[in-house]
Amino acid sequence: MYHHRLSQRPNPLCIIIIFLTLPTISAIVFLTLSSQTPLIKIPKPKPTITSLIHTQIANTTCDGTLYPDLCVSTISTFPDLLLKSLPQIIAATVNHSVTEVRASESNCSGILRTIPELAPLDKQALDDCIELLDNTIAELKTVIADLSANKTTSKHFRDLQTLLSGAMTNQYTCLDGFAYSKGNVRPYIEDRLDKISHHVSNALAMLRKIPAANAAAHGGGEVFPEYGKPIQQRGGFPTWVSRKDRRLLQAAVNQTRYNLVVAKDGSGNFTTIGEAVAAAPNSSETRFVIYVKGGAYYENVEVERKKTKLMLVGDGIGKTLVKDNRNVVDGWTTFRSATFAVVGNGFIAKGITFENYAGPSKHQAVAFRSGSDFSAFFQCSFIGYQDTLYVHSLRQFYRDCDIYGTVDFIFGNAAVVFQNCNLYARKPDDNQKNIITAQGRDDPFQTTGISIISCKIAAALDLIPVQSSFKTYLGRPWKQYSRTVYLLSNIGDLVDPAGWLEWSGNFALSTLYYGEYKNKGPGSNTSDRVTWPGYKVISNSTEASQFSVGNFILGDDWLPTYNISYSRNLTS
């Protein structure tokens, strides 16, 4: 206790009381006392009219978001809120998110820099996070620029939804990288990443309040501009494939003009695919074609964000092969295990086999990963076991392709359509089941999902003799709002009568959307299917059509330029 000695004539108006706590002074409080007056209470400032209006605007704008408290507390701080339009408020929210993404990226870099004893898997997961956060910044900046452009078409709003959906997916992918880590890094980054995802979710929800977007919206946050209208059969590919690209894809190999040639025998410009990709121009606005001659290329290839409009043409399935065996058991994250990975937008591949031959006992081992918007694959093969094809994010299209695997062998959170493809379940490990899809939609406002149209689901050659020993399912819910549909497909007898498998107990069973529409084959009988709240047998052609190429990935806006055949609508 600190004692203060008073003089003989103390001041009756003021006594200074000092409180000490060990080991330091915790507070010094000055109390003004008077024998005539009580203690003075300082009143809280009354809210101004401006702050009340800001709060009201924020509350109205944030109505319907999943994280309203965060939304209101963020928006109410924006200056001149009364003068901002809804797109400007959304842009400001996204801009606020960019600042937080940069802080998270710096946080990850700081952990790498200051903790040298990190386990190798933690280091790799942090490297993944830095790349994913960088992609998030690029996607969010595009959203801000697009919102500032004052565009009002349905396609424009679908572009915004796609970019925001992809940006949100990146944060969860970052955290997924620590699933097998033995360290304690995740808690140091998780809260920041969750907050970023919540901001982006709120932006997605607010976007639906814009009249042009709302007029085009149909349930669950999707924008289907032609939903409910007659769909004209155009044949071929989604419209985002240009006429020039369509000619490239339909042309024979010896009739295609190439910018670079890769050949193992030294007869081309390069002997490895990685060298050719590195030599391709950055930020290209025109198609750049690399011809990869027949042969097996044992390498891991990554097409970075700056490598846009790239096309790889091979000599055909089983002739031009890209192979490697990275896997989780040997110390790779699932994200980084991919034999071939692409992020640069507008990527196309034709006539190539992508393989991860790690084997079923090595668990997650990706053959191909795409986070490329408007990516398309024609007459390609993807071979692996668990997690063969990682359809990570944004819009993707697969036509006349073969996909082989065991556990969750098509997975991710893209808006993706498989059309006229063959999905082959292989022989897994003795303690495993085959699950064809594991869709990763985290948020009900994300415009993502897996749409499988006019495909064949069958047993691969190695499974056929032992098919009765292993159960095979159409999918299971990797994330809370998992969404997958099978439409007009031929489902073989390998598929269990229940059709679908739980992920863990009741997780996501009422929030997922799994549907089947007019499938055929011995495995298509739905009488013994699961009875989950989120599963349904689709009987309405209008509902089914929202998952067509033309509607689900707005294929008519980009596929025609690629010269890949596609059916924009459901044909029966």
pLDDT digits (tens, 9 = 90+) for 28-66: 333 333 444 455 666 665 566 666 777 888 899 999 999
Give the start-end residues of each E strand in 263-401. Answer: 288-292, 295-298, 301-303, 310-314, 320-324, 340-342, 348-350, 353-356, 368-370, 375-378, 381-383, 389-391, 395-399
Average pLDDT, the chain: 86
Asked if pLDDT for residue 499 goes beyond 90, the answer is yes
Full set of structural domains in the chain with CATH: 49-218 (1.20.140.40), 292-562 (2.160.20.10)
Give the model's pLDDT for residue 354. Answer: 98
Which tens digit of pLDDT belongs to each residue from 341-368?
999 999 999 999 999 999 999 999 999 9
Q: Which residues contact 302 (CB under 8 A, 6 or more apart)?
A: 274, 277, 338, 340, 341, 342, 343
Q: What percent of the chain has pLDDT over 70?
A: 83
pLDDT at 207 over 80: yes
Greater model confidence, 153 or 403: 403
Q: Mean pLDDT across the stretch 212-216?
A: 55
Mean pLDDT of 84-94: 94
Instruction: Please answer whether residues 447 and 165 qualify as being in contact, where contact means their C-beta atoms are separated by less than 8 angstroms.
Output: yes
Range 424-430 average pLDDT? 96
SS3 402: strand
Q: What pLDDT, in 10s, does the model give residues 381-419? A: 999 999 999 999 999 999 999 999 999 999 999 999 999
Residue among 360, 414, 378 nearest 173 (CA): 414
At residue 238, the pLDDT reads: 61
pLDDT score, position 556: 81
What SS3 state is found at 295?
strand
Cβ-Cβ contacts under 8 Å for 541 (sequence gap 6 or more): 570
User: Average of pLDDT values for 238-260?
Assistant: 72
Chain CA centroid to CA 380, Å: 22
Residues constituting the chain: 572
Task: Inform me whether the pLDDT recorded for 441 exceeds 60.
Answer: yes
Tokens of 406: 């065991």
Instruction: Give residue 234's pLDDT.
Output: 41
Given a cut of 50, whether residue 233 has pLDDT beyond it is no
pLDDT confidence of residue 57: 87
Which alpha helices (H) appear in 221-357, and where do they start and end?
Answer: 243-250, 273-279
What positions carry a catalytic annotation? 408
Of the ranges 28-32, 139-143, 203-207, 386-390, which one carries the lowest mean pLDDT score? 28-32
**What CA–CA distance (Å, rounded) separates 396 from 412?**
11
- How confident is the model at residue 170, as a pLDDT? 97
CB-based contacts of 388: which residues, under 8 Å, 6+ apart?
A: 356, 366, 367, 368, 382, 403, 404, 405, 409, 410
